[in-house]
Amino acid sequence: MSSSSLHQRQQQQLLSNPSPFSPRSNSPFQRPFISLFTPTGHLLVLLSLIVILGVFVPWAGTPDILFGRGDTSSAAKWRDYTLAEAAAFAAKNGTVIVCAVSEPYLPFLSNWLISIARQKHQDKVLVIAEDYATLYKVNQRWPGHAVLVPPAPDAQTAHKFGSQGFFNFTSRRPRHLLHILELGYNVMYNDVDMVWLADPFTYLQGHHDIYFTDDMAAMKLLNHSHDLPAPGKKGRTYICSCMIFLRPTSGAKQIMKKWIDELHDQPWSKKSKSNDQPAFNWALNKTAGQVDLYLLPQVAFPSGGLYFKNQAWVEETKGLHAIIHNNYITGFEKKIKRFREFGLWLVDNHSDESPLGRL
């Protein structure tokens, strides 16, 4: 072959392969090129994004926001939701029913809501969430009915009775109630370890500043006085701080302010392990001559120490009970077991009646 023919052949190869030093596509050593615009490319991009998010995004703080597992609206909406907005949403006929809940108590919240729904008052309920998990979960299932007033207490200890976390949790209660009163609403507060058997509003006779219940287990006469009982051995009364109804009067606001002051003067310590109830009683005792108080009938609002301990009394007063409080016992499982024994753990068979559905 002549040199001119060889030169022409090399020129033709260069034109057909502009990169003669790169392997041809049919070379066994060449890696195939993957376009980002192919299905395989899309998968690689998605996997890369997941890896980046897993490394750089704090997993506990934002997954609901990123992946839409929270409310159908943005989680930021509920984070910015104010107590004033929430009270205006929930209030019916100028009244709001309030509870305060942390995530471990969500089954009790649902149980309580079923009993309220049976009395047709569930639309008035406002859940004050004490952690963001509760805020998002309730508003996801029941939009607008939960609000968080920052800062949120320590979620790890807020549910343990007698702990400092529990004190921090319950000591926020009068501030929430005072705020709602200052907005101009009547407010009923309940703990969620309660069950409604009848409409409690029928027992709110007259126009008193504050209505409350006796926490004692001793039986009272059916027609007992509605005045504040006499102080006990510790120099104060033993009124329950778990079921309260307040009208937006100066007297009711005065009691809430005094309750806040008493909590400040009696902080939690390892020795005293205080909770909010003694401070509430001191507030009632110290304002008794200035505020219009009303003790609700024991037969309708018995303590757990009476209702669950005295079956003869329960039978004698059957049909007269309005709200049953599962107190005088501590621990989730013990409370649930007792409710089941008395046919009051409604979520087992009636979760469809709860505005939250099955949790």
Q: How confident is the model over 30-82, as pLDDT tens digits?
A: 444 445 455 555 565 555 655 454 544 433 433 443 333 444 456 889 999 99
Helix axis angle for 132-141 and 106-117, nearest 10°, is 40
For 123-176, how does the pLDDT look when each residue is reduced to its tens digit (9 = 90+)?
999 999 999 999 999 999 999 999 999 987 765 555 555 455 555 556 799 999
Say how far apart CA 147 and CA 61 lie, in whole Å.
18
Residue 303 has a pLDDT of: 98
Q: Does the pLDDT at position 276 exceed 90? A: no
pLDDT, averaged across the chain: 83
Calculate ∠ Cα 200-194-285, nearest 5°: 70
SS3 208: coil
What pLDDT, in 10s, does the model give residues 284-321? 999 999 999 999 999 999 999 999 999 999 999 999 99
pTM: 0.77
Tens of pLDDT, residues 208-256:
999 999 999 999 999 999 999 999 988 999 999 999 999 999 999 999 9
Nearest to 145 by CA among 93, 96, 191: 96
Percent of the chain with pLDDT over 70: 72
User: CA-based Rg of the chain, rounded to a whole angstrom?
Assistant: 32
Helix (H) / strand (E) containing 184? none
Q: What's residue 62's pLDDT?
A: 38
What's the Cα-to-Cα distance from 326 to each of 113, 127, 245, 306, rounded to whole Å? 15, 19, 19, 10
Q: How confident is the model at residue 86 (pLDDT cuts 50, 70, 90)?
A: very high
